[in-house]
Homo-oligomer: A and B are copies of this chain.
Amino acid sequence: MQAQVRDVARLAGVSSGTVSNALNHPEKVSPATRERVQQAIAELGFVPNIAARQLRRGTNDSIGMVVLDIANPFFTAVARGVEERLAGVGRPLVMAHSGQDHEREKAYLDLFAEQRLSGVLVTPAGQVLDRLRRLRDRGTAIVVVDRKTGAREFSSVSVDDTLGGTLATQHLLDVGRRRIAFLGGPERLTQIKHRLGAARRVVEQHGSGAVWHVDSPTLDVEAGRVGAAALLDLPAARRPDAIFAANDLIALGVLQTLTLAGVRVPDDIAIVGYDDNEFAAAAAIPLTSVRQPAVEMGAAATGRLLEVIEDPHAKVEHIVLSPELVVRRSTVA
C-alpha cells in the first residue's frame, strides 16, 4: 500500500491542503508545520506523485533528448554537454535512443509529447516536422541538434561542415598530398555533401591533385575496412596518397586495414578523420581529425532550449559552431 496525502496529513496532524501547500508552496506554511509534514513523509515513505503535480501544472521539469546513435562517441559527447548545462539549473535529462530508426524516433517523440516535457532536443533521423510541430503546439520547447530540420520554425545548433571539409583538405595539400580519396556516404546526407563538396572545391582552387569519392552505405568501422581494402586493390600507381574519412569510426577501420596490410601511415597513405572522438586520439597511430565541438554543441543547444522554454515566442535562431583541425601522427610523421 502506498502512502497517500491523507495519511501524511493524519500523521502530521494537519489538513491535506496543508500537506499540499508544504510540498508546492512551502512559503505559505510555518517552519514548524513544514517540519512536521516532512517528518511524516519520511516516516511513511511517501513520495509526491509527479503525475498529480504535472496534471495541475501542464508540463514537467525534465528535458528529453532523442539521441541518433548512442554507440557513436560523438553523440555521447553531445549528451555530456547537455548534462553539464542542465546540472547548473537542476533539471533532469531523460534520453531516448532512435538508433537512426525513424519509427522508433516517432514513438519516442510521441512519448515525450504525452509526458509533457518542458523541452526536447532532437537529432532527427527522418521526416519529423509534423511531430515537432505537435510537440511545440502542446507547449514543449524544441531545439534541433546537428541538423537544421524545419529551419524556419525551430532553432538549431550545428557545426560548419564546409569549413571542416576545407580544413581537412587544405591540410592534406599542405603536407604534400595530391591524390585524396574521400571515404564515406551516402552523399544525400547533408554533412557528407558539405564535407565532400568543400574537399572538391579546395583541390580545384589549388589547381593540382584530385579528389574521388568512395561511397559507403554506413558510417562505421566496417565501412572503413571495406573502403580501404577496395583502395588497396588498385594498382599502386592509382592508389591515393591520402584518405579523408567522413568520420573517425571510418578512419579507425582504414587505419587497421592499412596497418595489417603493411602500408605505412602516414608515409604511404595519410589519414584524416572527422569528429575527433576519444578513440581518434587513442589510436595506435593517433589520428589527425577535424574536431567537432560536440560538448559545446550540447551545451549551446541546451542554453537555447532553456531560452525557448522561458519565452516560447523567442525568435528562431541558428547557431553554427566552427570545427578545428587537430593534427596528429596519421598525417605528420
Contact A79 B73 (CB under 8 A): no
Contact B83 A97 (CB under 8 A): yes
Contact B96 A96 (CB under 8 A): no
CA distance A113 to B47 in the complex (A): 8
Shortest Cβ distance from A286 into B: residue: B256
Is A14 interfacial (CB 8 A cutoff)?
no
Chain A binding surface, main DSSP class: helix
Which residue of the partner chain, among B76, B92, B137, contacts A111 with CB atoms under 8 Å? B92
Which residue of the partner chain, among B45, B94, B284, contacts A255 with CB atoms under 8 Å? B284
Q: Write out the residue numbers on chain B whose beta carbons fall within 8 Å of the beta carbon of A55.
A: 49, 51-52, 55
A interface, size bucket: 35 or more
Contact B96 A94 (CB under 8 A): yes
Contact A221 B284 (CB under 8 A): no
* Stretch from A30-38, A151-159, A175-183, A275-283 that touches the partner: A275-283
Which positions in A face B, CB cutoff 8 Å?
2, 45, 47-52, 54-55, 58, 62, 70-71, 73, 76-77, 79-80, 83, 92-97, 99, 107-108, 110-111, 113-116, 134, 137-139, 221, 249, 252-253, 255-256, 259-260, 278-279, 281-286, 329
